[in-house]
Copies of this chain bind each other. A is one copy, B any other.
């Protein structure tokens, strides 16, 4: 049974301010909740239909602080999905710290003002697929714990450390550590022919305005995805998720073909 207070509490987590204050966020969907438990993480509240609850192996139960069995109708009231699955959970935000020393040998993705929650989710999914460990978001990016973003990551949020920080300082520090900063732009070196390092920072800009002016001087290499449409119309562009997928794939293929 879901008390009125609990219901209010769960719904309050749709607000960024509350999430940040409590350091909690919501994950939804049977597969994602199960995956979350399997990956060894803790769950503060599991809100689920009795069928789902009875299917959880006993050894995982100790990692759930409280289990709240609910009817489908109750789940629907607190879900941010139109047609919720059987389970949702409230989980602690992972505590991640960004240490330059630890990322200097890796490929890291930096996002400047990505504003669409679905785009951020897709980018995280691509990052997880291609083995990116750290994602550095400008403070002006949409919140990664927004229910729409979490949903769009399809669980990939578990596999990527997401940091929020000032990108100017971050990119300057990366440059100081001798890392390249690869800007993804409309005009630049075609990525297909480019020699690319196995480490550095890949910078993606805002969906409509691209990379902010103050970050441009910090870019060491400008990369572009060549278009092949004979009709240049300007609106048939790639979206942020597609551009991220292709650029990350290009870096990944160089590891693959050299290894």
Q: Which of A235-259 contact B (CB under 8 A)?
A: 235-239, 241-242, 245-246, 249-250, 252-253, 255-257
Are B238 and A159 in contact, with the CB atoms below 8 A?
no
Q: Interface on A for B, CB 8 Å cutoff? A: 31-32, 35, 38-39, 122, 125-126, 128-131, 154-156, 158-159, 190, 192-193, 225-231, 233-239, 241-242, 245-246, 249-250, 252-253, 255-257
A124 → B minimal CB distance (Å): 9
- Cβ of A122: which chain B residues have Cβ within 8 Å of it? 239, 241-242
Candidate in A31, A229, A241 with the most chain B CB atoms within 10 angstroms? A229
Q: Are the CB atoms of A236 and B193 closer together than 8 Å?
A: no
Asked if residues B228 and A155 are in contact (CB atoms below 8 Å), the reply is: no
Residues on B with C-beta less than 8 A from A249 are 225, 246, 249-250
CB of B233 within 8 A of CB of A39, answer yes
CB atoms of A193 and B256 under 8 A apart: yes
List 20 contacting pairs A-B, 8 Å CB cutoff, sorted by A. Answer: A35-B234, A38-B233, A39-B231, A125-B236, A129-B229, A131-B229, A154-B236, A154-B239, A158-B236, A159-B229, A192-B256, A225-B249, A226-B256, A228-B252, A228-B255, A238-B245, A241-B242, A242-B245, A245-B246, A249-B250
| Beta-carbon contact of B233 and A35 below 8 Å | yes
Kindly list chain B residues whose C-beta atoms are within 8 Å of the C-beta of A125: 236-239, 242
In the bound complex, residues from chain B placing their C-beta under 8 Å from that of A193 are 256-257
